[in-house]
Amino acid sequence: MAPIPNPEAQSGPRVYFIACCFPPFGRGNSLTNACAANGLAEDLRVEVVCMEQEAGLLLSYQQDASLVAGLHPGLRVHRVRAARWGGLNEILYALGILPCYYLNWAWKVWRQRQELFAEPGVLFAVYPVFSDLAVAYWLQRRYGYPLVVDFRDDFSGVMSRGWRRIFRGAYRWLEGRLLRRAARVTVTTEALKDNLAQRHQVDPGKIEVVYNIVPTEAAPLRQADNEPLRLVYAGAMSAVQRPEILLQAYALLVARRPELRQTLELDLYGPASHYFKLRVQQHLGPGITYHGFVDHQQITEQLRRADLGFLSLSDPVYAYATPTKLFEYIEYEVPMVGVLPPGASRDLINRHGLGLVAGVGDVAGLANCLEQLCCQPELRRRLRANLAAVKPLFAPRTQLYKWRAAIEAAAGRPAPQAPPVAAPGLAASF
């Protein structure tokens, strides 16, 4: 079906939203990309350039039809099939030679550039993935269209971890070239803004902090303090999160306090990846239910009924990061329990009193957090009150305004009127 034109968007600049991962990709950055494109399409002419989903040689991708159903009808979505490289792109990425395994898609987009980018517009490229940045860089050089770069992740910082640090100079050179080409840059946190500005001597004034956004589909259901409490983890099963620490902490908790097995139950949602089979599955047991991968609409329903939500980052290299699920928990007012390095996510949770946090790898510390949340209903009520109070600070429309303002500035147009922001109530810090 042809997209429905958005009459209010006709006066704004055309936006080429370059996002390889876009629905039906069932992964976190696909959700954020969809939310951003949907919101921008309310006021601007948005054309999404993304990858047509298909299985790779080493990689498989989950599909989420509910995300496709939720796309704005005014979006024009161009799904480009990746070039056939016989899996070489994935192998070279695994070996550390390439910074991205979607370069075969980027190559195909470049080959179709005259068809996809025929009319002048603003290039809006999101990271991850690096291929989005590569496409935007070469298009900007070729056509001179203004460029806005959005970093949902720290490209050179994350790519340079471990043995790949030998490529740090090359990654930072690529990153710097891109930043200097960009008219405006948006990032997830103040820490990432400061790092990029210092790393590349870029004017901090052209970098704006925009928090991750999530769908606002329904108000949270209020939870009665009934037992058993339900703790939900819905996310990747990978070495970045290492969700097995939650199961280890739960086992420790019920070993020392067996009665709490009747008080707290865990529900896990995520793909049955190789990591899950090797590292997580062995820790499943009584009180823990693994539901596999389900679409986001079902996750939303589970979050509306959850008493607690879990999030984790397994390495200090991710100290700057604020995962999408953190903002989902805020949106649905779900008290959090986390395993996080010192950094942006831990600071945000502690500053506003949104949950309890243990250090990376601290199984005993996480078990103590679970025990407090199980045994102190007043603590849970206070956390929920804090979540409700702080939610206006992270409202999607506020973040979308900042993206739109960056796009308008890149196009040489005046900034739109800022939306009113409700003053939050005072949230007790911990």
Q: What is the pLDDT of residues 292-315, one digit of tens each?
A: 999 988 999 999 999 999 999 998
229-390, CATH topology level = Rossmann fold (3.40.50)
Is 90 exceeded by the pLDDT of residue 318? Answer: no
User: Hey, what CATH class is 7-210+396-410 in?
Assistant: alpha beta
Question: Which of 15-29, 48-62, 87-101 shows the lowest mean pLDDT across its residues?
Answer: 48-62
Say what the pLDDT of residue 423 is.
Answer: 53
Mean pLDDT of 238-261: 96
Distance CA 271, CA 239 (A): 13
Mean pLDDT of 393-398: 90
Residues ≥6 apart with Cβ < 8 Å to 221: 304, 305
Is 60 exceeded by the pLDDT of residue 350? Answer: yes
According to CATH, where is 3.40.50.2000 located in the chain?
A: 7-210+396-410, 229-390
CA distances from 33 to 18, 29, 36, 124, 307 (A): 9, 6, 5, 11, 28
User: What's the pTM value of the predicted model, to 2 decimals?
Assistant: 0.87
Contact 57, 84 (CB under 8 A): no
Say what the pLDDT of residue 29 is.
Answer: 84
Mean pLDDT of 166-188: 93
- Number of other residues whose CB lies within 10 A of the CB of residue 238: 17
**Per residue in 30-47, pLDDT tens?**
999 999 999 999 999 999
Contact 427, 240 (CB under 8 A): no
CA distances from 51 to 2, 20, 96, 106, 311 (A): 19, 5, 22, 9, 28
